[in-house]
């Protein structure tokens, strides 16, 4: 359950950054992988 919560936090931050016009998909994909310990589940 902690992994899911972590991925939600990372994804939420990614969305906020994207909305602000500062998406850095490579960095956020890496952060999401680290948070979940696996493959990213963020839609492209």
Measured in Å, how far apart are the chain's first and last C-alpha atoms?
Answer: 24
Tell me the mean pLDDT in the region 12-29.
Answer: 75
In the structure, what pLDDT confidence band is assigned to residue 18 with cuts at 50, 70 and 90?
confident
C-alpha dihedral, 24 to 28 to 43 to 23, nearest 10°:
-20
- pTM for this one? 0.42
In the structure, what pLDDT confidence band is assigned to residue 42 with cuts at 50, 70 and 90?
low
**Alpha-carbon distances, residue 16 vs 1, 6, 12, 29 (angstroms):** 23, 16, 6, 15
Say how far apart CA 7 and CA 3 lie, in whole Å: 6
Q: Tens digit of pLDDT for each residue in 22-37?
A: 667 777 778 778 877 7
- Cα 14 to the center of its chain, rounded Å: 5
């Amino acid at each position: 359950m902690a992994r899911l919560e972590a991925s939600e936090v990372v994804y939420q931050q990614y969305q906020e950054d994207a909305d602000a016009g500062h998406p850095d998909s490579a960095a956020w994909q890496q952060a999401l992988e680290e948070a979940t310990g696996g493959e990213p589940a963020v839609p492209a």
